[in-house]
Structure 1
Amino acid sequence: MVPRSEVSVTLPLPGPLVPARFVRRRVRFLIDVEGDTGPFTAHANNTGSMLGLLRPGRRVGLSVSDNPKRKLAHTLEMVRLPDFRGDFWVGVNTLTPNRLFRKAFLAGAFPDLAGYDAVRPEPAFAHGRLDFALSGPAGQCFVECKNVTMVEDGAAMFPDAATLRGCKHLVELTRLAREGNARAALFFCVQRPDGDCFAPAAVIDPDYAALLRQAVAAGVLVLAYRAAVDEAGVRLGGRLPLARGCL
């Protein structure tokens, strides 16, 4: 049997990527790009700022939906980031962390979640929903997934924009951990290769950073994992340590 920590998990893209060049972010969910056949508009489901990524002329990769009811067929999946050590892709699709977590959990890729063998998406919780509820011999564990696209001074950081919704999730997860009836966990999916550790972005959202420190102190499990992104898909990489002094 393959050790849990060595399980290889890849989330394939729905089809070949469409290459384009970023032109502008018109509104929150729309971007204009220039493709091989001319300009067009694509959907971007990332509500964050994507700080440092969306620059005019930058290469992007788009997936194509075959759903005839969609107004826009293309979705922004990744942005090519120039780097003196070599350019790399940054995954920006915020649905990826949930999909990758579910697949990796069912494959037994998280040693810290041993004792849970079933997963239920979007459980109702505290007048809202969390991403997953795990259950098994170990009891129950609630999990919230976040996408990380920002790295500063070697630290992968979340969030890249102030997040009231993220703060509410932290409050509920912390309450769960303190009550002790169920475990609580955060899965931070770092969709870029250049972060050596994980830290909250206190400069961006000091409230979120303070609440995350309280969550960790209360026993909320932080699972920050690097994810390797390329034109074929997203592969779960190694776990990142928490930055010293930040949590």
Structure 2
Amino acid sequence: MTENMAGRVFLPHGGPLRLARFVRRYKRFFIDAEDDGGIFTAHANNTGSMLGLLRPGAVIALSVSDNPKRRLPCTLEMVRLPDFRGDFWVGVNTLTPNRLFRLGAAAGAFAALAGYDAIRSEPPFGGGRLDFLLTGPGGRCFVECKNVTMVEDGAAMFPDAATERGCKHLVELTRLAREGVDKAALFFCVQRPDGGCFAPAAVVDPDYAALLAAAVAAGVLVLPYRAEATEAGIILGERLPLAAFCNE
């Protein structure tokens, strides 16, 4: 299901793509879309607001599963965003960050995470779970992955909706970093090309922004990476700089 394309970390979509136009979103996880075959319902696993993306008539790309047991074979993968410099895809599948991080870690794509040679999914923490635990000569590093689809004033921003769960993760990662026994990291997967740096969306969730600044001050490693969304799949790109809040 995953592969390395021309030396780059590459994640193909979960099935062939079906292009359509967005009609509406409802009950959080469902969208109606329309193509030449008419209106159909698809699954959307992104629980955020997808602010500024899901406009009626927007071109969307959905992967089509061949699993006969699925009630809805189509999953929303990308939204086409008009731009005066040229339209581009925005990846909205929230499974992508974890899948891409695992691939990137195995390929040694994250220079800041050198010294780890094994990865385990969903290690327990303080009454919940984080996404990954890296182990190796460098010790242990807990990692949480987030998907970024919002850009404002040239900065890629997270979250696009208030996130109590995300705040809980930040509190735990900060605790781990302050204790100094284990390392902690946040991987922000920026699935669009137009953000030149990364910052918390303080206007959307001021609590998350404050907790992220505290996490950075405590030594939590913040890794925002661009991920190029294409009709072939998702390609891991360059690391983005952090906005000025990190130095405040």
Which TM-score bucket, shorter chain as reference? over 0.9
Aligned-partner SS, 2:199: strand
Q: Deviations over 1:21-60 (max 9, x none)?
A: 0000122000000022110000000000000000000000
Q: Which residue is equivalent to 2:193? A: 193
Q: Which residue is equivalent to 1:106? A: 106
Shift of 1:246: 5.6
Please tell me whether the aligned partners of residues 7 and 109 of structure 1 are also in contact (alpha carbons under 8 angstroms). no
Please tell me whether the aligned partners of residues 149 and 156 of structure 1 are also in contact (alpha carbons under 8 angstroms). yes
Please tell me whether the aligned partners of residues 142 and 184 of structure 1 are also in contact (alpha carbons under 8 angstroms). yes
Q: Deviations over 1:152-198 (max 9, x none)?
A: 00000000000000000000000000001100000000000000000
Aligned length: 242
RMSD: 1.1
What is the letter of the counterpart of residue 95 of structure 1?
Answer: L
Q: Which residue is equivalent to 1:3? A: none
Matches of 1:66 and 1:215, distance apart in 2: 42
Q: Deviations over 1:123-156 (max 9, x none)?
A: 1111111000000000000000000000000000
Q: Which residue is equivalent to 1:235? A: 235
Aligned-partner SS, 2:15: coil
Q: Which residue is equivalent to 2:177? A: 177
Q: Deviations over 1:211-240 (max 9, x none)?
A: 000000000000000011110000000000
Matches of 1:239 and 1:31, distance apart in 2: 32
Which runs of 5 or more structure 2 residues have no equivalent in the other structure? 1-5
Q: Is 1:83 aligned with 2:89?
A: no
Q: Deviations over 1:80-139 (max 9, x none)?
A: 000000000000000000000000100000000000010000111111110000000000
Query: After the TM superposition, which residues 43-82 of structure 1 pair with which residues of structure 2 at under 5 Å, given as runs?
Result: 43-82=43-82
Matches of 1:130 and 1:245, distance apart in 2: 25
Q: Structure 2 length as normaliser, TM-score?
A: 0.96
Matches of 1:35 and 1:164, distance apart in 2: 36
Q: Which residue is equivalent to 1:97? A: 97
What is the letter of the counterpart of residue 162 of structure 1?
Answer: A
Matches of 2:7 and 2:156, distance apart in 1: 23
What is the letter of the counterpart of residue 220 of structure 2?
Answer: V
Q: Structure 1 length as normaliser, TM-score?
A: 0.96
Matches of 1:66 and 1:17, distance apart in 2: 12
What is the letter of the counterpart of residue 227 of structure 1?
Answer: A
Runs of 4+ aligned residues of structure 1 deviating over 2 Å after TM superposition are: none
Please tell me whether the aligned partners of residues 32 and 42 of structure 1 are also in contact (alpha carbons under 8 angstroms). yes
Please tell me whether the aligned partners of residues 18 and 61 of structure 2 are also in contact (alpha carbons under 8 angstroms). yes
Q: Is 1:138 aligned with 2:175?
A: no
Stretch of structure 1 that moved more, 117-126 or 152-161: 117-126
Q: Which residue is equivalent to 1:205? A: 205
Q: Which residue is equivalent to 2:3? A: none
Matches of 2:116 and 2:208, distance apart in 1: 28
Please tell me whether the aligned partners of residues 46 and 93 of structure 1 are also in contact (alpha carbons under 8 angstroms). yes
Please tell me whether the aligned partners of residues 116 and 137 of structure 1 are also in contact (alpha carbons under 8 angstroms). yes
Q: Which residue is equivalent to 2:31? A: 31
* Distance verdict in 2 for CA 1:68–1:92, change over 3 Å: same
Q: Which residue is equivalent to 1:40? A: 40
Which runs of 5 or more structure 1 residues have no equivalent in the other structure? 1-5
* Distance verdict in 2 for CA 1:221–1:246, change over 3 Å: closer
Q: Is 1:13 aligned with 2:13?
A: yes
Aligned-partner SS, 1:146: strand
* Distance verdict in 2 for CA 1:85–1:138, change over 3 Å: same
